[in-house]
Structure 1
Amino acid sequence: MVYEKNQLLTVEITDMTADGEGIGKVDGYPFFIKDAIIGDQARIRVTRAKKNYGYGRLEKVLMPSPFRIDAKCSFHRQCGGCQLQAMSYERQLQFKEDKVKNNLIRIGGFASEFLDKVMEPIVEMENPFHYRNKALYPIGTGRDGKSIAGFYAGRSHNIIANTDCSLGVYENKEILEIILSYMRENHVSAYDEATGQGLVRHVLVRKGFQSGEIMVCLVLNAKSGRKNSDFLPGQAGLVNSLSKVNGIAGISVSINREHTNVIMGKEIHTIWGKKSIQDTIFIRNVEDDFAATGQGITFSISPLSFYQVNPVQTEKLYSLALSYAEISGKETVWDLYCGIGTISLFLASNAKQIYGVEIVPQAIDDAKQNAIQNDIKNAQFFVGSAEEIFPEKYANDGIRADVVVVDPPRKGCDRTCLETILKMAPERIVYVSCDSATLARDLCILCEDTYEIKRMRAVDMFPMTVHVETIVLLTHKSLRESKRWVCEKHCQDA
């Protein structure tokens, strides 16, 4: 049967894609439907129909899924950020575990029975709202000509006006409303992507959950400035208003005149207070349901620093990394894609020597400063790409590793980096991944001949979204102590 655009159909949602779209079939023909929940009986409107599949818009839920709940945010369908907010949290956790497992089966070639043996239960979050310590709000102009702040609608750059995100910290609303009020009163224009005109592009807010310190950074389409210069008309009034918000420790501007989707500019000017804020991540006891140990590492965070956005779950994730690494105090550890040294410094107290690599110079400056302020002397950091620095230090300086920790961006590890790890042959690899698809691809390479998965666990770092963090412990096959389940395609027993 041929389906036409705008045709109304009734479907039962029997599955969901990795991106959170519901899947329903009509006479065997699959439709992908945003905002539909597995188990829904729904009326959909056909938006596009191809030869073998189509897309539909959810018009009405005729019979709700047992997993459907009332979403906390009224904008959740329009906004591109919370794909799963209408699904019960328990079902979200199952969705994420299934997503990781399916990617490892489909892309990595690992057997389902093997994964059942090594996968540990997902680490859930006690309160899955208001967990984000960082928010980037695009600034635009509404239909009434007034400046607005919010988030982009899914797969577009249309701004949904909303200053009260249910995932962000409570202070975001007050800060944004101060900035929008200032813009209206001082006739300050919002940036227009189409024309490249307008002054204020984005607002960045970061908060230290332990310290309570808050940083505000306005991204401006402005000329490069000099020290003590004003970048905004009526800048003193804005600074005065923002500085009264409880917790505000620093206000800065980022200059970005590029016609690009890159948000932050490289030029940062502090216009009030401190140039960075601090936060502390505490080590938790993995064997005692993540009970606090009292040991913590304090980090300085600048506007350009990479720092995990969910500090509550970060403590659990990094504590798992420390547990998986099994460091006794004699090991040399390489932390690739180290950012501001978060995992590196977590491991330093248990290791002989830590080497960290990160391509962002500002992040390495922060990592070095973080080591100093925590009195850690056995950590050394290098600026550069992991795929260049890591092989160079191994080939030219003979620096090897007993343990390698990798926490790459969404694209996963570079092939050269993986090949160097295989040549170096560390006893253990701890792989922290924000994308289980590229994780599966990389594990396929590492486990082809040399390594096997010993433990793995998903961590819900991003509740209400389709994203999930995964941590994996790989051990060298030469260390295998007993016969174990292995995957069908890789890690075959000798």
Structure 2
Amino acid sequence: MSKRTKKQAFTNVEVLDAGAKGKTIAKAPDGKVIFLSNTVPGDVVDVQTFKARKAYYEAKATVFHKLSDKRTTPACEHFGVCGGCKWQDMGYEHQLFYKQKEVTNNLTRIGHIELPEITPILGAASPYFYRNKMEFSFSDSRWLTQEEVQSDADLGDRNALGFHIPGMWDKILDIKKCHLQADPSNTIRNAVKQFALDNGFEFFNTRNQTGLLRTMMIRTSSTGDVMVVIQFFKEDKAKRISLLDFLAETFPQISSLQYIINEKANDTIYDQEVICYKGEDHIFEQMEGLKFKINAKSFYQTNSDQAFELYKITREFAGLTGNELVYDLYTGTGTIAQFVAKKAKKVIGVEAVPDAITAAKENAQLNSINNVEFFVGDMKHVFNDEFITAHGHPDIIITDPPRDGMHRDVVQQILNIAPKKVVYVSCNSATQARDLELMDAMYKVTKTQAVDMFPQTFHVENVVLLEKR
């Protein structure tokens, strides 16, 4: 029989700091660290532990004796239940402080890197309504609040269109207004839900695999384009057409209206046919004169304004003169490669996802960029000596890997090639720090710049310039 964790209560605990993954940090009387998820540094609280480990507890605040002066009133009525904006109760200037602190701590403590003078984190001009893509789920059994569960009142309509409750694959929180994507997103979502209710559409039941409406994606762009993609569980032609016609007539600003019939168990769309109902099968994003064609399955940075700032920093760190051969590793759809191309002699992009490379080539052609080439394959296999021999020895490498960072073989190959500079863009400064430590004997970090791509959350991007010692 497994040993049950003994819950403990601690009183008048001061929350001291914010840590990884949005957790806040306090100290228990026995010296152990307490990780909390519903407090702000500066709060004084009573806590109840729900998990105990050798060096730490995980706990929840149960009583608040003092509220931190770092607190602010959350803008969203769904805060605390919806898991999308865990830091919305913390003032934005304090969010930036703790994001910068996390990056610095990771680079020095994990990577043991000697850092140059730290440039302050680049905050977002718009800390709300900054996302260009949102995905909402339909459910016939919406999440009930604790008050609703304990109430004897008639719960009425149980249909929902919103977000998954964190950690629960089958429970959806009905969203009235989301502060992450600007209108017409909220207006479209609420109109679709009301139309579906008025016309007897069945919302999806994940457990039973029943219903008609599964998900809705809304993409917007700086050009004013709007894409809406409705995912149906089965074909019901009459209802499908009535909903899509309603959207087209009510929201003429929708430039790309598409749908999917997905009868499989999960709602991922990457193996599904996306059918264009009205308008184009894509929208365009624009950045410094470059146009990027985005379809329903395309990856594009979800904060367009901050992506522009991130790419400018990357290009500035590279210090291009027009004579360099640049390798862009983990190039994705080639946005960074194309953004730096006009300052470089040539750019070679490498990416593991075939569809992303197809999009990269298409966008390069769209932008009449002739000094970029894109190649597809697993980085640790493609990025080898034969590849370098075939395409040239890079003067500069730009790398923007996924959250897991670079494979050790890729790091070693960079060291073997030994370019003059490496610009490392990362969405996870912990794995970035791990990789930098492997490169520390050959390269010195000469610049670092954190960029806040996701206000109201704990996520942060970081750009580092490495130059040969």
Tell me, in whole angstroms, the C-alpha distance in 2 between the residues paired with 1:118 and 1:266: 49
Secondary structure of residue in 1 paired with 2:69: coil
Segment drifting more, 342-351 vs 24-33: 24-33
Relative to structure 1, the CA distance from residue 139 to residue 18 in structure 2 (aligned partners, 3 Å threshold; closer, same or farther) is same
- 1:182-233 CA-partner distances (Å, limit 9, x unpaired): 4334443333332333343321111112x110111123434xxxxxxx6654
- 1:356-377 CA-partner distances (Å, limit 9, x unpaired): 1222222222212211221111
1:206 aligns with 2:209: no
Relative to structure 1, the CA distance from residue 413 to residue 198 in structure 2 (aligned partners, 3 Å threshold; closer, same or farther) is farther
Alignment match, 1:97: 100
Alignment match, 1:439: 432
Displacement of 1:444 after TM fit? 1.4
Contact 2:225-2:283 at 8 Å conserved across structures = yes
Tell me, in whole angstroms, the C-alpha distance in 1 between the residues paired with 2:265 and 2:460: 31
Segment drifting more, 300-309 vs 358-367: 358-367
1:368 aligns with 2:368: no
**Counterpart AA for 2:335:** T
**Counterpart AA for 2:282:** S
- 1:218-273 CA-partner distances (Å, limit 9, x unpaired): 23434xxxxxxx66542222222222325311112245444347464443222221
**Counterpart AA for 2:339:** F
**Counterpart AA for 1:16:** A
Displacement of 1:437 after TM fit? 1.0
1:17 aligns with 2:19: yes
Contact 2:21-2:458 at 8 Å conserved across structures = yes
Contact 2:227-2:255 at 8 Å conserved across structures = yes
Displacement of 1:385 after TM fit? 2.5
1:391 aligns with 2:390: no
Alignment match, 1:455: 447
Tell me, in whole angstroms, the C-alpha distance in 1 between the residues paired with 2:322 and 2:272: 38
Alignment match, 2:276: 270
**Counterpart AA for 2:455:** P
Alignment match, 1:285: none
Segment drifting more, 98-107 vs 8-17: 8-17
Alignment match, 1:149: 161
Alignment match, 2:462: 470
Displacement of 1:412 after TM fit? 1.1
Please point out which of 180, 188, 210 is paired with 2:193. Answer: 180
Displacement of 1:98 after TM fit? 0.7
Secondary structure of residue in 2 paired with 1:267: coil
Contact 1:254-1:264 at 8 Å conserved across structures = no
Segment drifting more, 119-128 vs 144-153: 144-153
Alignment match, 2:64: 61
Secondary structure of residue in 1 paired with 2:20: coil
Question: After superposition, where does 1:8-157 map in structure 2 within 5 Å?
Answer: 9-27=11-29, 28-50=31-53, 52-110=55-113, 114-115=114-115, 117-142=116-141, 144=156, 146-157=158-169
Displacement of 1:336 after TM fit? 1.4
Alignment match, 1:161: 174
1:356 aligns with 2:368: no
Secondary structure of residue in 2 paired with 1:387: helix
Contact 1:44-1:56 at 8 Å conserved across structures = yes
Tell me, in whole angstroms, the C-alpha distance in 1 between the residues paired with 2:134 and 2:245: 22
Q: Structure 1: give runs of 5+ residues left out of the alignment.
A: 223-229, 283-295, 478-494
Secondary structure of residue in 1 paired with 2:191: helix
Segment drifting more, 181-190 vs 378-387: 181-190
Please point out which of 214, 229, 247 is paired with 1:242. Answer: 247
Tell me, in whole angstroms, the C-alpha distance in 2 between the residues paired with 1:388 and 1:220: 39
- 1:384-404 CA-partner distances (Å, limit 9, x unpaired): 222233226525625321111
Displacement of 1:130 after TM fit? 0.3
Tell me, in whole angstroms, the C-alpha distance in 2 between the residues paired with 1:446 and 1:258: 45
Relative to structure 1, the CA distance from residue 438 to residue 88 in structure 2 (aligned partners, 3 Å threshold; closer, same or farther) is same
- 1:22-69 CA-partner distances (Å, limit 9, x unpaired): 222231343222120000012333333445432322234221111011
**Counterpart AA for 2:37:** K
- How many equivalent pairs are there? 450
Relative to structure 1, the CA distance from residue 401 to residue 231 in structure 2 (aligned partners, 3 Å threshold; closer, same or farther) is farther
Give identity over the alignment, percent: 33
Alignment match, 1:305: 298
Secondary structure of residue in 2 paired with 1:234: helix
Tell me, in whole angstroms, the C-alpha distance in 1 between the residues paired with 2:26 and 2:54: 16
Contact 2:269-2:297 at 8 Å conserved across structures = no
- 1:427-460 CA-partner distances (Å, limit 9, x unpaired): 111111001111111111122x321111111000
Relative to structure 1, the CA distance from residue 390 to residue 140 in structure 2 (aligned partners, 3 Å threshold; closer, same or farther) is same
Please point out which of 190, 207, 212 is paired with 1:194. Answer: 207
Contact 2:214-2:267 at 8 Å conserved across structures = no
Tell me, in whole angstroms, the C-alpha distance in 1 between the residues paired with 2:445 and 2:378: 26
Tell me, in whole angstroms, the C-alpha distance in 1 between the residues paired with 2:57 and 2:237: 48
Alignment match, 2:149: none
Tell me, in whole angstroms, the C-alpha distance in 2 between the residues paired with 1:326 and 1:66: 42
Please point out which of 410, 414, 419 is paired with 1:417. Answer: 410
What TM-score, normalized to structure 2? 0.89
What TM-score, normalized to structure 1? 0.85
Displacement of 1:128 after TM fit? 0.6
Q: Structure 2: give runs of 5+ residues left out of the alignment.
A: 143-155
Secondary structure of residue in 2 paired with 1:19: helix
Tell me, in whole angstroms, the C-alpha distance in 2 between the residues paired with 1:264 and 1:39: 44
